[in-house]
Amino acid sequence: MMIEQSSLFDSMTAEVAFDGRPAQLFELQNNNGMTIMLMDIGAAWLSCKLPVSGVGSHIGELREVLLGQATMADFKQQQSYMGVTVGRVANRIAKGQFSIAGVAYQVDINQAGNTLHGGTVGFDKRRWTATDNRVENSIEFELVSPDGDQGFPGELTVRVKYQLTDDNAVVISYSGNTTQATPINLTNHAYFNLLGADSGQLALTHSLSINSDVFVPTDEVGIPTGEWLSVQGGNFDFTIEKRIEQDFMLDMQQQAAKGYDHAFVLDKRCLAGALAARLTSPDNRVSLDVFTSKPAMQLYSGNWLAGTADRMGGEYQDYAGIALETQFVPDALNHPDWEHPSSILQPGTIYQQQTRYQFNLSFD
């Protein structure tokens, strides 16, 4: 069912976006009253409201669990990629350099001498073409990235579909095709705070489990060092659910990144439908299960959120939200030695990936 959420709809469209025109916003609602808001700028997931009720809550209460902004001015100024689709290549490429079939490429550099989330004008800065499917309760966005865009080869056409199901899941499906071999690694950069995005509470108090025995250590600017390390018994061990703050900032890897900002190589059973990760609010009222076809997930603990505008006229603090970015391992383009699926898309083949964010509500 397509409906309008007037306050956010009005405030986000009151001024123009990057290209001089107002954004288009779309809202989906399921039979339980859960709503999500989507936007054509950045193919962004702007809002996610869950029908939480029970002890300590009012009947019909909706809990906003995504960090975000209320105005286009604040959205344009934020540099945290809140809720947007990032690409062509999510995460980092060392020095913005890679080669395909012996041909070297230099792409746009936009962070610490490296390429982050596709470059200075990545997919998060674009207006996508939107179509809705009322039968599926979904919105699909499409973008054509021309040959040479940010230095990447080939004309790449990508589609991102958001579907809201009646069992309170947000299913994000990605597809793409190219005219020339090119890297592609799309993800959504939503930040979750299951206590409430505007609660003022840090997300480090959430509990988290990750179905992974291996994490990818990085250097001082977030580039993988080349090795994969076991999580067993260490500060990166989330194989058994624990509070994120339990082993927070207790090692040099975290201290260099100001928290968790690392990829976890998911258990191969996740490719067959096994749970990839579970995030649970401290009040145990909301949990989020992540299922994905992608081989890895970046855990980012919101280490640099301070000063980013919130929806209430204030600012978020560091660690106000947790990002669970399903993707390929960062800089995999430069590590053919890794036992890892290729992120190179060839002409005549289809890029196809999916991530399911399943929200579970407790009414006890």
- Measure the CA–CA gap between 238 and 255, rounded to whole angstroms: 18
Specify the number of domains making up the chain.
1
91 labeled binding residue: yes
Q: CA torsion sign, 257 to 334 to 85 to 63?
A: negative
- End-to-end CA separation in angstroms for the chain: 28
Q: Are 24 and 40 in contact (CB under 8 A)?
A: yes
Contact between 252 and 242 under an 8 Å Cβ cutoff? The reply is: no
Q: Is 92 annotated as a binding residue?
A: yes
Task: Find the helix or strand (DSSP H, E) in which 300 lies.
Answer: strand 296-300
Instruction: Compute the chain's Rg from CA coordinates.
Output: 19
Asked whether residue 190 is marked as a ligand-binding residue, the answer is: yes
Q: What is the DSSP letter of 282?
A: T
Q: What is the pTM of this model?
A: 0.95
Q: Pairing between strand 344-345 and 286-292?
A: unpaired
Q: Is 102 exposed, middle or buried (0-12, 13-18, 19+ CB in 10 A)?
A: exposed
- Identify the CATH number of the domain in which residue 165 sits: 2.70.98.10
Task: Find, among 170, 112, 182, the residue nearest to 344 by Cα.
Answer: 182
- Residue type, position 338, single letter: W
Which residues span the domain enclosing 137? 2-361
Q: Which residues of the chain have pLDDT under 50?
A: 1-5, 55-57, 59
Sign of the CA dihedral 261, 357, 346, 178?
A: negative
Q: Is 325 a catalytic residue?
A: yes
Q: Of 325, 335, 339, 340, which one is the catalytic site residue?
A: 325
Kindly name the residue from 27, 64, 189, 206 that is annotated as catalytic.
189
| Count of Cβ atoms closer than 10 Å to residue 146 Cβ | 10
Say whether 261 counts as a known binding-site residue: yes
pLDDT for 6 equals 53
